[in-house]
Every structure is written in structure tokens, then in C-alpha cells.
Amino acid sequence: MLAQLQLDEFGRQIPRLTGTPVDVVTDIHRFLRQTLYWKCGGLTEEQLRWSPVPSGSCLLGILRHSIRAERWWMARVIGGLPPDGDERDDDDNGWILQPDDIFASVHARFEQEATRTESLIAGMTWERVVDLPVDHPMAGTTVGWIIAHMVEEVARHCGQADILRETIDGQTGE
């Protein structure tokens, strides 16, 4: 953890500049999650579900999908945990919103997933190889690769969220 918790002007925890690779990249991952929350802040449920693109991508959908991606890579691949009860094969990796999906509940689920992630990887090393069958296409993958991939995943969605938020109400920022 940071010696002293430092927040930026948007309430995001500033990532530490030193530490183990897992700790530093985990901090960056947390910062990016908090960026997604910030991009959704202050909007109505209707605005969070609004999409200007044919794919239907919307801010709430980005958050929901990000939970699913984190659960898959961190809890299932690194942690070896079984699927959760709310994982369904017909929701297109979390992109399809359910009628009861609202920001508060989706945000809470993402926070629960983030807490589980940080608990699972606490003390792991970057070089640790995840436990997958030898014939699995990702056999030999390291914890470091997966954490770096999660940063890439969430960072890409932060870029999408930037564009959606600016389209909704003109708000810009990193």
C-alpha cells in the first residue's frame, strides 16, 4: 500500500512510483478502474445506457463488461476459482445489459471483484506461472502477463469512456 494514500482531483488513488512490479501495476489497474467510475459519475441511468454507435457500447456496458473480464482473468485464470452464479453464456462477455443493471449495483459488483482481485494476487510475483493444464492454449502464462493485460483492457475501455462521456455532456479529461 502507499505510505500515505494520495488522491488526485477526481478522487482517484494515485499509483505508487516504486514497489514490486505486481504492486505497481495493480495500483495502475486500480487507478484505471476509478477512472471508469469517474467517467460514469453524475450521469442519469438513461445517459449511462445511451449509445451513439451501432455496436451499442455505452458507459454502463463498459463497466459491466470490465467486471466480466476481470473475473475471468483474475479470479478464474489466476485464482482457479469456479464460475460465479451470475456468469451466463448468453450475455456476450458482459456487454449485454440486464433490466436491473443500474450504476450503483454494477459499480458495487466491480468493487467486489476488484477487492477479490487484490486479495488473490497479494504477495504473488510477476514471474509466477498460472496453474493451467499443459495442453491449454495459455499454458505458461505468468501473473505479470495477465495483470499487464488487465491494464491494457481497462485502459482501452477508459478511452472509449472518454469519447462516450464527451459525446453525452462535453466533459473531458484523462
Q: Is the dihedral of CA 136, 142, 145, 151 positive or negative?
A: positive
Residue 115 maps to a domain: yes
pLDDT of residue 133: 82
Residue 143 maps to a domain: yes
Residue 120 maps to a domain: yes
pLDDT of residue 39: 95
Gap between the Cα atoms of 166 and 159, Å rounded: 11
Residue 162 maps to a domain: yes
Residue 88 maps to a domain: yes
Residue 8 maps to a domain: no
Q: Are 107 and 63 in contact (CB under 8 A)?
A: yes
pLDDT of residue 87: 58
pLDDT of residue 108: 96
Residue 149 maps to a domain: yes
Domain count, the chain: 1
Residue 14 maps to a domain: no
CATH code, domain with 145: 1.20.120.450
Domain that holds residue 92: 21-169
- The parts of the chain modelled with pLDDT lower than 50 are 1-2
Q: Are 38 and 49 in contact (CB under 8 A)?
A: no
